[in-house]
Amino acid sequence: MIKIAPSILAADPLNLERDVRKMADAGADWLHVDVMDAHFVPNLAFSPAVVRRLRQATSLPLDVHLMMDRPERYLDVFLDAGADLVTIHAEIAGDLTAMLDKIRRRGARAGLALKPGTGLSAAAPFLSHTDMVLTMTVEPGFGGQKLNAEVPDKIAELRKRGYTGEIEADGGIKEQNLPMLLEKGLSVAVMGTALFREQDPTEMIRRLHEMG
């Protein structure tokens, strides 16, 4: 069954605990936490202190998406804070294998993210060091963007090449375009705007889970 991961970038920052509890009660599977450094992406979002408090506030797996350069300096900080999955971007400099192995060595699951314009060749050398590939369906940095229609075929291609780990998509996902992503082999859908705007997220998540 598809896993639904609300992205708290779309939550009300002044009522984060309320919104997180609402999504957990609504049947969300993971909680997607965007971390942005205003360098790798032109935006700033969520700190390790927030992840620490989220860990105390919910038992949902914390899916931490590091949209940052030099994440190796912060892996221990986010892992200590309670991250269950830590995803780094394939476009950054540094020893990706060492970073992915470290995340796993510390008992969390390791993810590798690809921007829409980054081909699978950038991920190929690292796939055996990952538990998840995050195929960004928007340019990272902001919620509320339109899904990039070129990306779903990347998901299908990854499955065709035999990747059996989680494949997560992130950005512009809504009830109307999720079936197409499922057909391509998606296993985790990050949803920010579409979910947080919804009057009845419980009903919506039930419909999304029924899709497959």
CB of 160 to ligand DX5, least distance (A): 25
Choose the one of Zn ion, ligand DX5, none that binds residue 119, judging by a C-beta under 5 to 8 angstroms depending on kind: none
Interacting residue with ligand DX5 among 9, 64, 86, 114 (CB under 6 A): 9
Interacting residue with ligand DX5 among 193, 198, 202, 209 (CB under 6 A): 193
Determine whether 63 is an active site residue.
no
Choose the one of ligand DX5, Zn ion, none that binds residue 141, judging by a C-beta under 5 to 8 angstroms depending on kind: ligand DX5
Do residues 87 and 78 touch, judged by C-beta distance below 8 A?
Answer: no
Residue 170 engages ligand DX5 in binding (rule: CB under 6 A): yes
Catalytic residue among 19, 29, 34, 63: 34
Task: Please identify the residue of the shown chain whose CB is closest to the bound Zn ion.
Answer: 65
Residue 61 engages ligand DX5 in binding (rule: CB under 6 A): no
Determine whether 170 is an active site residue.
yes
- How distant, in Å, are the alpha carbons of 110, 156, 158, 167, 196 from that of 86? 5, 23, 20, 14, 23
Do residues 85 and 132 touch, judged by C-beta distance below 8 A?
Answer: yes
When computed from its CA atoms, the radius of gyration of the chain, rounded to whole angstroms, is 16
Choose the one of ligand DX5, Zn ion, none that binds residue 100, judging by a C-beta under 5 to 8 angstroms depending on kind: none
Interacting residue with ligand DX5 among 87, 192, 201, 204 (CB under 6 A): 192
Residue 171 engages ligand DX5 in binding (rule: CB under 6 A): yes
- Residue 175: phi and psi, rounded to 5, are -55, -35
Residue 110 engages ligand DX5 in binding (rule: CB under 6 A): no
Q: What single-letter amino acid sits at 189?
A: A
Residue indicated by tokens 């780094």 = 88
Q: Which two tokens stand for residue 193?
A: 């705007």
Q: What single-letter amino acid sits at 202?
A: T
- Binding segment (CB under 6 A) for ligand DX5, from list 55-63, 76-84, 91-99, 138-146: 138-146
Number of helices (H), then strands (E), belonging to the chain: the values are 8, 9
Q: Whole-angstrom Cα distance, residue 76 to residue 132? A: 19
> How wide is the angle at C-alpha 83 spanned by C-alphas 60 and 144, nearest 5°?
70
Q: Which residues bind Zn ion (CB under 5 A)?
A: 34, 65, 170
Residues of this chain that interact with ligand DX5 (CB under 6 A) are: 7, 9-10, 32, 34, 65, 138, 140-145, 170-173, 190-194
Give the catalytic positions in this structure.
34, 170
